[in-house]
Amino acid sequence: MENAWLARWREGRIGFHRDAPHPALRRHWPGLAVPAGTKVLVPLCGKSLDMRWLARQGHPVLGIELAPEAVEQFLAEGGEPVSRYRQAGFEVCRQGSVELWRGDVFHFHIEQAAEIGAFYDRAALIALPPATRQRYAFHLAQLIPPGARGLLVALTRAPGEEQAGPPFHVSEAEVRELFAPNFRLTLLARGEPEAGSGFREHVWALVRRGPLDEA
Ligand SMILES: C[S@@+](CC[C@H](N)C(=O)[O-])C[C@H]1O[C@@H](n2cnc3c(N)ncnc32)[C@H](O)[C@@H]1O
């Protein structure tokens, strides 16, 4: 069966896309104190302008995205020259200091992740169905070195709507359960319910634990 996200991109059903960098990124990224020059992994990146914002803060960015439309639209909207090559089964497109790896995030492995030192997940975890979220949290932990930090913007749905999705309702308890084995978590902010949808975004800071860093 075709991944439902590919159909969404083909049909232009991308209500999740924002036409400006996410306020939570602008507000909370500086507090993580990730040094400029640190490469930031952006899993399930879509064509998010958050990647350009991160690049402007001096970070090389590595986005991973399944949908060719997302990648091509991002590059076209950037308007800068693009270089393309294939690596490890991915089509990699580089524009300025942003590289987009087109393919399945679960096929992206540690050998390709050598330089990554931080991450940013907005609407990646919550794009995945329950069983896949466990796999994602574990996979992310494999790609991120001890001490690396990241921001996670998750989402809850209005009471009574929790079974719908995507985007999926992911409670605070589930975020803790998924990530606590490998990350230290701090809930930074609980957003207000969005008018109409009732979606609430929650912002978390995560730090990858080292082997001696007890839960
Ligand atoms: C809810 S959107 C969020 C996009 C982006 N983070 C943003 O904030 O606009 C989720 C994205 O994940 C992509 N996606 C879904 N499954 C994926 C997978 N297994 N590997 C890579 N990308 C995937 C979809 O195509 C979609 O663009």
Please tell me the distance between residue 70's alpha carbon and the centre of ligand 1 in angstroms: 9
Domain containing residue 127:
4-208
Instruction: Tell me the pLDDT tens digit for each residue of 9-62.
Output: 999 999 999 999 999 999 999 999 999 999 999 999 999 999 999 999 999 999
Instruction: Tell me the pLDDT tens digit for each residue of 184-199.
Output: 999 999 989 998 889 9
The confidence score (pLDDT) of residue 214 equals: 67
Q: Predicted ipTM?
A: 0.99
Instruction: Tell me the pLDDT tens digit for each residue of 137-188.
Output: 999 999 999 999 999 999 999 998 888 888 999 999 999 999 999 999 999 9
For residue 214, being part of any structural domain is answered with: no
Q: What predicted TM-score, i.e. pTM, was given to this entire model? A: 0.97
Residue 212 pLDDT > 90: no
For residue 142, being part of any structural domain is answered with: yes
**Ligand 1: which residues within 6 Å by Cβ?**
5, 9, 16-17, 44-46, 48, 64-67, 70, 104-106, 122-124, 127, 167
For residue 165, being part of any structural domain is answered with: yes
For residue 213, being part of any structural domain is answered with: no
Beta bridge partners of 84: 93
For residue 215, being part of any structural domain is answered with: no
Q: Using alpha carbons, list the distances in angstroms from residue 73 to 12, 23, 68, 89, 134.
A: 11, 22, 8, 21, 30
Tokens (6 digits) for 196 = 């109409």
CATH number of the domain to which 77 belongs = 3.40.50.150
Q: Which of 146, 132, 152, 140 is nearest to 110 (CA)?
A: 140
The confidence score (pLDDT) of residue 213 equals: 79
The confidence score (pLDDT) of residue 116 equals: 97
The confidence score (pLDDT) of residue 112 equals: 87
Structurally, the chain folds into a number of domains equal to 1
The confidence score (pLDDT) of residue 215 equals: 62
